Amino acid sequence: MLLRAMVGMLLVAASASAAEMTFLSWSVDTGHAIPAIVCQQLADMPPASIYALVDVGPREIDRYSAAIRKARGGTYRHIATWSGGPTRVMVSYNSEHLELLESRELFQFDGYEMNDWRHRSPLACLFEHRRSGERFWFVAVHLARVDAVLRRSQSRGLRSWARKSKEPIVAMGVFNFDYDFVVEHGNQSHEYFVQGGEWTWAKPTKMIDTHWSDRNDDGLDDYPNSCLDFAFHAKLPEEWTLTSEVVVRANDFPDTNASSNHRPIQAKFILPGPAIRQEVKSRVR
């Protein structure tokens, strides 16, 4: 009984000392949304340790980075893809909490093309959490929309990359999987991506439409009950957790020409430090 009580107390202490971070991904819809409004909306959103912004115009990269620093503090740094032409991918992170060890654009892996030089590559960043010393990859994703052949290849490439990674991975962004959460089924790219169980979806408890499309201007969403935006994880240790939810803002849908036609995804990431876990193991013996 005493041993069990001691274990329980240690687990509570470990939980209290665990590192909790918030990640946020959002398609800012360049060429459609007004950058000044996007900057204000970024400031109004919940604070995050990592912001993954996709569909970013090259001229807006520094602007959005500055908006995050102004709202959250001068410790935020950013990195962006050079691929993607008018629609780039960027990651802004809190350097006080996270050290960027490595970054790369994923162009090809295991023979799978992830960029045909007309699209943007997934942006992979290897971070070390300064307090716990834990390392993980964060991947900002904007897969092809119109080119289904490339999107399927990107999905297979990311699946293979995750399988061979030695570090835990969190991937967030616009995957364009056309997942209908009523019938619980996505397109073929989604099937390829989750095949084999390498990736796990941090599925929101409450499913909400993430994208507004009204091409015939009838005032109705062309694809209701659909999800294009996701948070996935791979190779997370058992004691690490990732949960996500769709961020709904007042009057965000129906979409207007002022803001993005995507809703952000917010994820909560919890990981205990190695020293904490070692303390629990050593005292149980």
Cα distance between residue 57 and residue 105, in whole Å: 17
Whether the CB-CB separation of 49 and 270 falls below 8 Å is answered with: no
* Within-domain flag for 7: no
User: Scanning the structure block, which residue is given the tokens 């293979």?
Assistant: 160
Cα distance between residue 26 and residue 55, in whole Å: 9
Global confidence as pTM: 0.90
* Within-domain flag for 134: yes
Residues 56, 198, 25, CA angle at the centre, nearest 5°?
A: 20
Band of the pLDDT at 43, cuts 50, 70, 90?
A: very high
Element (DSSP H or E) covering residue 282? helix 274-284
Q: How many CA atoms lie within 13 A of 71 on its CB side?
A: 21
Q: 135 — phi, psi (to 5°)? A: -115, 145
Q: 17 — phi, psi (to 5°)? A: -90, -5
Q: Which of 131, 78, 82, 85 is nearest to 100 (CA)?
A: 78
Least confidently predicted of 3-7, 111-115, 186-190: 3-7
* Within-domain flag for 75: yes
Whether the CB-CB separation of 42 and 56 falls below 8 Å is answered with: no
Element (DSSP H or E) covering residue 135? strand 135-142
* Within-domain flag for 67: yes
* Within-domain flag for 1: no
What mean pLDDT do residues 88-100 have? 98
Domain membership of residue 74 as a residue range = 19-271
Q: Which residues pair with 271 in a beta bridge?
A: 19
Q: What is the pLDDT of residues 243-278, one digit of tens each?
A: 999 999 988 998 888 899 999 999 999 988 655 455
How many helices (H) and strands (E) in the chain?
A: 6, 14
* Within-domain flag for 82: yes
Cα distance between residue 188 and residue 274, in whole Å: 39
Q: Please count the structural domains in the chain.
A: 1
User: 49: domain CATH number?
Assistant: 3.60.10.10
* Within-domain flag for 282: no
* Within-domain flag for 11: no
> Do you know the residue count of the chain?
285
Q: What is the pLDDT of residues 125-172, one digit of tens each?
A: 999 999 999 999 999 999 999 999 999 999 999 999 999 999 999 999
